[in-house]
Amino acid sequence: MGGNIVLVGFMGCGKTSVGRRLAHLTGMKLVDTDELICEDAGVSIPEIFAEEGEVGFRAREAAALESLEGLRGAVISTGGGIVLAVTNRARLRALGLVCWLDAPAEVLFERAARSGRRPLLQTENPREVFDRLLAERRALYEEVADFRVQTASLDHEGVARQILAEMASRRGPREKSPL
Ligand code: S3P
Q: What is the pLDDT of residue 114?
A: 83
Contact between 20 and 30 (Cβ < 8 Å): yes
Tell me the best of 32, 37, 111, 118 to mutate to test the pocket of ligand 1, counting ligand atoms within 8 Å of each CB and taking the most.
118
The single-letter code of the amino acid at 40 is D
Q: Which of 3, 6, 5 is nearest to 141 (CA)?
A: 6
Q: Which ligand 1 atom sits nearest the alpha carbon of residue 117?
A: 10
Cα angle vertex 20, ends 17, 112, to 5°? Answer: 15
User: What pLDDT is stored for residue 1 in this prediction?
Assistant: 58
CA distance 56 to 49: 7
Tell me how many helices (H) and strands (E) the chain has.
Answer: 7, 5
The pLDDT score that the predictor gives to residue 37 is 98
Does this model's pTM top 0.85?
Answer: yes
Give the C-alpha separation, 86 to 94, whole Å: 13
Question: Cα(99)–Cα(97) distance, rounded to whole angstroms?
Answer: 7
Each residue's pLDDT tens digit, 101-157: 999 999 999 998 887 778 899 889 999 999 999 999 999 999 999 999 999 999 999
- 45 band by pLDDT with thresholds 50, 70 and 90: very high
Give tens-digit pLDDT for 17-29: 999 999 999 999 9
Q: Does the CB atom of residue 76 touch ligand 1 within 6 A? A: no
pLDDT for 92 beyond 60: yes
CB 71 within 8 A of CB 95: yes
**pLDDT band at 171, cuts 50/70/90?**
confident
pLDDT value for 175: 55
Cα(27) to centroid(ligand 1), Å: 26
Return the residue whose CA atom lies nearest to atom 9 of ligand 1: 79
**Mean pLDDT, all residues of the chain:** 93
CB of residue 45 inside a 6 A radius of ligand 1: yes
- 17: exposed, middle or buried (Cβ count in 10 Å: 0-12, 13-18, 19+): middle
- Give the confidence band of 172 by pLDDT, cuts at 50, 70, 90: low
